[in-house]
């Protein structure tokens, strides 16, 4: 299998790319792609799925305050809201931001716990020495360590872009070029 290149067409592509770069359109494209990425992440929070379409792991248990609010709503005859994954306070969902720099589109989730949910984690907690001594002196067995597992609930793609993200970014690129080149 072979490939042939028409040098006249290649030089035309180089001229068009030169115009795009010289006019600063790549910066605008980075901003548009960043905005589209923020919309994609918002959709993931709404559908509770990762960028590749896999549903997030369900919650193991309901927080006490959410359970109490749900029980109060039911007692008052109102419809109880369903428990949303990673949206208890909405802080992480609302902190998703875009930081386009030059020709690069970048999405950020600046909360400290976003990386824990993005990658998943296992934490082992150990009881304090005072707690061990107090329990031992009371004749009860000292508490052993406790392991907490936080499942991975990916919000941003790792590695290759998912097909859906590629389609959206391609659409934004085509739209910008069509607008700038005045193609109908």
Q: 27-40, pLDDT tens digit by residue?
A: 888 888 889 999 99
Over residues 37-62, the pLDDT tens digits come to 999 999 999 999 999 999 988 877 66
**Contact call for residues 155 and 114 (beta carbons, < 8 A):** yes
User: What residue spans define the domains of the chain?
Assistant: 7-180
pLDDT value for 129 = 53
DSSP character for 62?
A: -
Q: Which residue has the tokens 């006490």?
A: 64
Give the C-alpha separation, 37 to 30, whole Å. Answer: 10
The dihedral region occupied by 55, where left means phi > 0, alpha psi between -120 and 50, and beta the remainder, is beta
Per-residue burial over 130-140, b if 16 or more Cβ lie within 10 Å, else e, is eeeeeeeeeee
CB within 8 A of 61, min separation 6: which ones? none
Tens of each residue's pLDDT in the chain, 184 residues:
334 334 454 465 566 566 666 666 778 888 888 899 999 999 999 999 999 999 988 877 666 656 676 677 777 777 656 677 777 778 888 999 988 887 778 888 999 988 988 898 888 877 665 555 555 555 555 556 778 888 889 999 988 889 999 889 888 887 887 787 776 5
Quickly list H helices, the chain. 7-22, 25-47, 64-75, 91-94, 114-119, 129-137, 163-180
> Which residues contact residue 47 at a Cβ distance below 8 angstroms, ignoring those fewer than 6 apart?
none
pTM: 0.71
Q: Let me know: does 4 contact 140? Beta carbons within 8 Å.
A: no
123 backbone dihedrals φ, ψ, rounded to 5° = -115, 140
């Amino acid at each position: 299998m072979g490939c042939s290149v028409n040098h006249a067409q290649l030089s035309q592509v180089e001229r068009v790319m030169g115009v795009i770069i010289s006019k600063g359109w790549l910066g605008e494209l980075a901003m548009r792609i960043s905005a589209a990425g923020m919309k994609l992440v918002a959709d993931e929070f709404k559908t509770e799925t990762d960028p590749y379409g896999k549903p997030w792991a369900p919650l193991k248990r309901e927080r006490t305050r959410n359970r109490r609010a749900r029980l109060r709503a039911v007692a008052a005859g109102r419809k109880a809201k369903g428990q949303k994954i990673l949206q208890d306070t909405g802080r992480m969902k609302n902190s998703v931001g875009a930081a386009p720099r030059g020709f690069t589109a970048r999405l950020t989730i600046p909360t400290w716990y976003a990386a824990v949910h993005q990658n998943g984690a296992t934490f082992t907690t150990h009881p304090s020495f005072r707690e061990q001594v107090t329990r031992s002196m009371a004749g009860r067995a000292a508490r052993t360590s406790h392991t907490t597992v936080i499942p991975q609930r990916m919000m941003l793609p790792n590695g290759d872009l998912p097909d859906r993200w590629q389609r959206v970014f391609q659409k934004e690129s085509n739209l910008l070029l069509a607008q700038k080149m005045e193609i109908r």
